[in-house]
Amino acid sequence: MHLFLLVGGLLTAAPSPYLDSKTTGAAYCYDPASPVLRQAYRGPKPTPATPMDSAALAEDIRFLHRLLSTTYSGWPELLAHRTFEPDAFFEDWAAKVAASGPTVSFQDGVLTPTLAVREALTDNHFGPSGFLSMLREEPRLSFREYQADAPPGFTLASCDASTVTGAQADTLRVAPVLKPDGSRGQRLTVSARGGGDTRTLRCGDTSLPLTVRPPRPALQFAPKDTYTYEPKGDVGIITIRRFSGPPEAEAGLRQFVADAPKHRKHKLLVFDLRGNSGGDDGYVYQWLDTMVRGPWFSSGEVWMHGAFYPCFLWNSRVQRQAMDGRLDTPEAKAERDALHAKWPVTPEPSRPVFDSGRVEGHAKTPFTGRIVVLVDRDSSSSGESGAYALHRATGAPMVGERTGGFLTYGNAPSFVLPRTGFAWVVPTKRNYFAEPVEGVGHAVQVYLDAEELGRPVTELLPRLRKLP
């Protein structure tokens, strides 16, 4: 019998993966001693065909429903949806699973209903942990960029984005593209949902064929290479592959912040955030605090504050330790003790808390050189918010292609479902941008052709130097 069927049946009476709220002042703080929690982050992931205990899964869907109603940053928008009624949906989901017999497949009991929620509200962070990349590629959910070189005499005002099947209309734009010979062209681009390699855009009396930007292989790297710094005369190349990871990766990220005085000596800094799948963009904000003086604005944001407070930092730390298999080490316990010392806190009602996005830089010696930020479709979550912060704080152009589109709903911890024992990612913050970002990503100021985007920074430098 498959592991998840056995676990689902056994967990009905298993200890909760969460600490007693009387200890913490909150409902969802992880218990580091819980075998359920350890299994969730160290055990095998289910597959679409994995049989789940129907009764246990139905109870977990009810648990998830309660959790989302107080914690999920997208819940208010689901409540305001014209046709999707979230309370009725979750009640019906639990009832159907409970009535499905002794078992239900992970596909039918979890993934298919998740698709329905994600169709109602585009949120690339929401869903069962370990399946977000797969869900992102689902044609019903994913957006891809379709492009063509702008013809001579072209005017964007003559184009009708509604003629592009599945288009996100407000992504229709013309932007510069850096050619391999150093010249510049104009690239017409629009993001559209659904499969297929071509689209057609109507511009006046002309039909323009658009072609999808091809993907490139995902980058592979060791944790020790999370951050690298390569001085090249008056140019400093700063590569950050993730904003989280095991201890050696976190040490590298702290070194990135500490290296700011070295970075300041260059006339040009190139940040390579291609393939950066996220983590904690706070490292970028710490770095900017030493390089920028005065106010700048990121995005406005609203936090869901209440039922999950103060678990965010605690759960993030416990989850990282569980993933690394080091929950029982003295270093891990010391990290938790520092957070635990602030407990319990007074319980507070769940409420939204607004932050305008105003940031104040405190640099004694502001950086006066130029910055360029390389991004691609695999720059996601904090990988794209870190790039956006660099752009907003310093005016640095983002170069490459649209980012991943994991930004409107962020600060996304995982919650272990107590009976079936797998983790669910639930964003707790809503970001506000001037244009749609979720699913389509941040637009770049300058494009590179897809076949050029995989080149080393050193090969791109002659072109990047010429950017204003």
Q: Are residues 75 and 183 in the same domain?
A: no
Q: Are residues 270 and 164 in the same domain?
A: no
Q: Are residues 171 and 79 in the same domain?
A: no
- Please choose, from the candidates 233, 167, 165, the residue with its C-alpha nearest in 3D space to the C-alpha of residue 465: 233
Last residue within a domain, chosen from 183, 212, 241: 212
Query: Tokens representing 83?
Result: 């046709």
Tokens 């919650």 map to which residue? 415
The reply to whether 208 falls in a domain is yes
- Please choose, from the candidates 389, 444, 453, 416, the residue with its C-alpha nearest in 3D space to the C-alpha of residue 323: 416
The reply to whether 378 falls in a domain is yes
The SS3 call for residue 249 is helix
- Please choose, from the candidates 359, 465, 364, 343, the residue with its C-alpha nearest in 3D space to the C-alpha of residue 26: 343
> What backbone torsions phi and psi does residue 341 show, to the nearest 5 degrees?
-60, -20
The reply to whether 423 falls in a domain is no
Query: Tokens representing 342?
Result: 């602030």
The SS3 call for residue 2 is coil
Strands 198-203 and 206-212 turn out to be antiparallel
Question: What's the whole-model pTM score?
Answer: 0.92
3-state helix, strand, coil in the chain (%, to 5): 35, 25, 40
Do the Cβ atoms of 372 and 270 come closer than 8 Å?
yes
The reply to whether 24 falls in a domain is yes
The reply to whether 271 falls in a domain is yes
Q: What is the pLDDT of residues 43-57, one digit of tens each?
A: 999 999 999 999 999
- Please choose, from the candidates 277, 303, 298, 279, the residue with its C-alpha nearest in 3D space to the C-alpha of residue 433: 298
Range of the structural domain that residue 208 is part of: 143-212
Strands 198-203 and 235-240 turn out to be unpaired
Q: What is the DSSP string of 63-96?
A: HHHHHHHHH-TTHHHHHT-SS--HHHHHHHHHHH
- Which alpha helices (DSSP H) does 264-381 contain, by range? 282-289, 311-324, 330-340
Query: Tokens representing 292?
Result: 């920028």
Q: Are residues 310 and 441 in the same domain?
A: yes
One pLDDT digit (tens) per residue for the chain, 468 residues: 344 544 444 444 567 999 988 888 788 999 999 999 999 999 999 999 999 999 999 999 999 999 999 899 999 999 999 999 999 999 999 999 999 999 999 999 999 999 999 999 999 999 999 999 899 889 889 999 999 999 888 899 999 999 999 999 999 999 999 998 888 999 999 999 988 999 999 999 999 999 999 988 888 888 899 999 999 999 999 999 999 999 999 999 999 999 999 999 999 999 999 999 999 999 999 999 999 999 999 999 998 877 777 788 899 999 999 999 999 999 999 999 999 888 877 777 777 889 999 999 999 999 999 999 999 999 999 999 999 999 999 999 999 999 999 999 999 999 999 999 999 999 999 999 988 999 999 999 999 999 999 999 999 999 999 898
Virtual CA dihedral for 91, 94, 98, 104, nearest 10 degrees? 150
The reply to whether 218 falls in a domain is no
Q: How many CB atoms lie within 10 A of CB 116?
A: 12
**Residues in Cβ contact with 214 at an 8 Å cutoff, skipping those fewer than 6 apart:** 450, 451
Tokens 């769940």 map to which residue? 350
Do the Cβ atoms of 123 and 411 come closer than 8 Å?
no
Q: Are residues 14 and 103 in the same domain?
A: yes
152 residue type, one letter: P
Last residue within a domain, chosen from 111, 136, 161: 136
In this structure, what DSSP letter does residue 230 have?
E
The reply to whether 267 falls in a domain is yes
Which CATH number do you get for residue 320?
3.90.226.10
Q: Are residues 323 and 440 in the same domain?
A: yes
Q: Are residues 177 and 324 in the same domain?
A: no
Q: Are residues 72 and 164 in the same domain?
A: no
353 residue type, one letter: V
Last residue within a domain, chosen from 136, 166, 196: 136
Q: Can you give the pLDDT at residue 351?
A: 79
The reply to whether 285 falls in a domain is yes
**Residues in Cβ contact with 406 at an 8 Å cutoff, skipping those fewer than 6 apart:** 124, 125, 278, 380, 381, 384, 438
Q: Are residues 200 and 290 in the same domain?
A: no
In the chain, the number of structural domains is: 3
Q: Are residues 158 and 235 in the same domain?
A: no
Do the Cβ atoms of 30 and 17 come closer than 8 Å?
yes
Q: Are residues 296 and 438 in the same domain?
A: yes
Q: Give the chain's radius of gyration (CA, Å).
A: 23
Q: Can you give the pLDDT at residue 5?
A: 44
The SS3 call for residue 318 is helix
Q: Are residues 76 and 154 in the same domain?
A: no
